[in-house]
Structure 1
Amino acid sequence: MRRSEFLRAVDDEFGARANALTNDLVLGGIGMTAHDALDVGVPPREIWLALCDAADVPPERQYGVGRIEPRKG
């Protein structure tokens, strides 16, 4: 997952709450906000999964989101 895919996934999943969640919510297992984690180089996929866990996003909405086109193969 690229940073752009992460940001798209957050916007798609959380809408108007996206900014508050990425800037204010300290993610368990990472120990910082999503915004700070991106800035220090934590892989976006790891941040996405921690955010999904913290926000109780169901598993079927955690994978493949944020991509413009589905993976081939």
Structure 2
Amino acid sequence: MLSHHELATLLLFRDATLRFEEFDPDVLALCRYELVEVRRRDHRGSTLELTTRGRDLLRRLHLDGRDALQ
């Protein structure tokens, strides 16, 4: 079960124009649940993205940013 902090972090990934710290405890938990993954590491930092599983969870919770009437 996700904590409220982990769920809030997952929602931030949905609208991700922000950069996240790969070693943030909430991000680590989301990686462990396979909801978020590290896509690339370079000199500027890591690129983190929602996985298919993460997008599916947001869709099931009707928190995917789309109109619920679709």
Please tell me the TM-score bracket, short chain as reference: under 0.3
In our comparison, the structure showing a higher alpha carbon Rg is 2
Structure with greater proportional strand content: 2
Structure 2 length as normaliser, TM-score? 0.28
TM-score, normalization by structure 1:
0.27
Larger helix proportion of the pair = 1
